[in-house]
Amino acid sequence: MIIKSPRDNYDIVIVGGGMVGGTFAVTLSETLKDKGLKILVVETNAPLTRKQSQVGFDSRSTALSFGSKKILNDSSIWLEVGKKAEPIRNIIVSDKGRFGRTKISSEEQNLEALGFVVENKDLVLTLNNRLSSSRTIDYFTEAKISSVSPRANGMKFDISTDESSWSVSSALLVLAEGGRSSVCEKLGIARTHQDYKQHAIVTNVAFENGHAGNAFERFTDTGPLAVLPLRKFKTENRCSVVWSVNYHESDHILTLNQEALRNKLQDSFGHRLGRIVKVGKLDCFPLRLSVAREQIRPGIVLLGNVAHTLHPVAGQGMNLALRDMEALVKSIGKGIEEGSSCGDMRVLQRYLEKQADDHYEIIMLTDRLVSLFSSSATTNVMARKFGLLSLELFPSLRKTFARKAMGLV
Ligand SMILES: Cc1cc2nc3c(=O)[nH]c(=O)nc-3n(C[C@H](O)[C@H](O)[C@H](O)COP(=O)(O)OP(=O)(O)OC[C@H]3O[C@@H](n4cnc5c(N)ncnc54)[C@H](O)[C@@H]3O)c2cc1C
């Protein structure tokens, strides 16, 4: 429920009620509802209104794997979000101007879909509504943590709004504030960065033909281009585009007029979905790998972009965060049964041990894909050809690769 002032003490306080923090809060309260946990979510933004979340042509979206859908299903978040999600039936991977292409299909994997494209505002609105109507979660918006320090059994911090400030303590502080965490800075939690010197240009595009559930990952000399199926807007055949290009190229793209933009995108993507009829509003994000050097401390755990911010080439940031979140909820539940406090290092260590390999694999996979698919160096071109050809020729390899990407391994 929305609150005007927090209590003095909670079991778990979540800083950031965005896609990761909001999902974690709802999943935690659903899964451990019989444990009587006192949960607080602190969020700087006001909840999204229905009007703000109305469908328009422009909107950001996220591709969720089949495994992520299962996680969201367990907390019944999917009940709402799933109604508006667009299924991905096939993923077609190709290399611009070169031989080599492979198709991964849901039919071959015996699944209804390989994944789903969700508009971020649909997920955020569902989460905001769940947090606002929850009887077990205190939802404190337009508020932030102004100071933080460890105490004997957990953390102590001040929460402030424009009008007032409160001193609060909790056994566990979950940091889900996104890529720029002011609480991590206050605590001196350092990060390792790798700048890819690329920007993601994100936009929605209307094509002459419908996408028929196909998602495309196309590798070009300037960087990877992803085209994801979206639900129609009025009569327009909409797709979401994530176009990763170097800084120089993105500066140029951002100055193009509508016609020049359509031509440039058409040249990179080709005519798989016919003519490009319209390109929507462009957003631009700098791309880098940024990983917190400490994922846990006594009474603290990092989730989502605070923990690891990845390049979107493999669409894995949110999917990895959802698996982390599921593992953390399980470890907290087990800890409570064993009589441990939520912020006990045994609970957090167990979570990290469960997820460490997943973190490593996804970070390495994403990083390798960026270098492999953002270069026209001969060795990389040959490796791409070999990779795509191997996937095309060997169904068992394709299956293993697909199951990993779908979060089912
Ligand atoms: C171009 C692009 C495409 C992507 N595509 C995909 C994809 O297809 N699939 C996929 O799995 N991932 C994808 N990702 C990654 C995905 O977007 C992120 O993993 C996800 O947004 C992380 O969510 P988050 O909640 O951690 O952070 P955010 O979404 O940044 O949320 C942080 C929240 O914390 C709040 N906040 C910030 N500071 C404070 C504070 N001090 N106090 C309180 N609240 C605070 C903010 O208001 C916000 O609500 C993509 C990323 C990019 C850039």
Distance, C-alpha 150 to centroid of its chain: 29
Residue 30 has what pLDDT? 95
Q: Please choose, from the candidates 168, 192, 139, 108, the residue with its C-alpha nearest in 3D space to the C-alpha of residue 3.
A: 139
Q: Ligand 1, atom 14: nearest CA belongs to which residue?
A: 317
The finding on whether 43 has its CB within 6 A of some atom of ligand 1 is yes
20: left (phi over 0), alpha (psi -120 to 50) or beta: alpha
The finding on whether 200 has its CB within 6 A of some atom of ligand 1 is yes
Q: Please choose, from the candidates 57, 114, 109, the residue with its C-alpha nearest in 3D space to the C-alpha of residue 87.
A: 114
3-state class (DSSP) for residue 232: coil
Q: Give the Å distance between the CA of 20 and the centre of ligand 1.
A: 7
Contact 398, 102 (CB under 8 A): yes
Contact 241, 229 (CB under 8 A): no
Is domain 9-371 classified as CATH 3.40.50.10540? Answer: no
Give the integer Cα–Cα distance in Å for 130 and 79.
12
Q: Please choose, from the candidates 129, 138, 131, 142, the residue with its C-alpha nearest in 3D space to the C-alpha of residue 53.
A: 129
Complete edge-to-edge strand list for the sheet that includes strand 61-65: 61-65, 115-119, 86-88
pTM above 0.95, yes or no: no
Q: Which portions of the chain are predicted below pLDDT 50?
A: none
Distance, C-alpha 276 to centroid of its chain: 27
Ligand 1 atom nearest to CA at 305: 26
Contact 320, 362 (CB under 8 A): yes
Give the integer Cα–Cα distance in Å for 151 and 147.
13
Residue type, 403: R
Give the integer Cα–Cα distance in Å for 338 and 351.
15
Q: Please choose, from the candidates 283, 297, 292, 286, the residue with its C-alpha nearest in 3D space to the C-alpha of residue 363.
A: 292
Q: Give the Å distance between the CA of 79 and the centre of ligand 1.
A: 22
Q: Give the Å distance between the CA of 343 and the centre of ligand 1.
A: 24
Q: Give the Å distance between the CA of 94 and the centre of ligand 1.
A: 28
The finding on whether 322 has its CB within 6 A of some atom of ligand 1 is no
Q: Ligand 1, atom 20: nearest CA belongs to which residue?
A: 318
Residue with tokens 């606002």: 132
Sign of CA dihedral 355, 34, 177, 149: negative
Give 155-165 pLDDT, tens digit per residue. Answer: 999 999 999 99
The finding on whether 178 has its CB within 6 A of some atom of ligand 1 is yes
Q: Which helix (H) or strand (E) holds 310?
A: none
Q: Give the Å distance between the CA of 160 and the centre of ligand 1.
A: 22
Q: Please choose, from the candidates 91, 94, 58, the residue with its C-alpha nearest in 3D space to the C-alpha of residue 269.
A: 94
DSSP summary character for residue 251 = H
The set of residues, in sequence order, having a beta carbon less than 8 Å from that of 90 and lying 6+ positions away, is 103, 104, 105, 106, 114, 213, 214, 215
Q: Give the Å distance between the CA of 305 and the centre of ligand 1.
A: 6
Longest C-alpha distance within the chain, in Å? 64
Pair of tokens at residue 119: 């508009």
The domain locations on the chain are 9-371
The finding on whether 215 has its CB within 6 A of some atom of ligand 1 is no
357-387: burial string, b at 16+ Cβ within 10 Å, e else: ebbeebbebbbebbebbbbeeeeebebbeeb
Give the integer Cα–Cα distance in Å for 141 and 112.
38
Contact 138, 8 (CB under 8 A): no
Ligand 1 atom nearest to CA at 321: 19
Residue 166 has what pLDDT? 97
Q: Give the Å distance between the CA of 385 and the centre of ligand 1.
A: 33
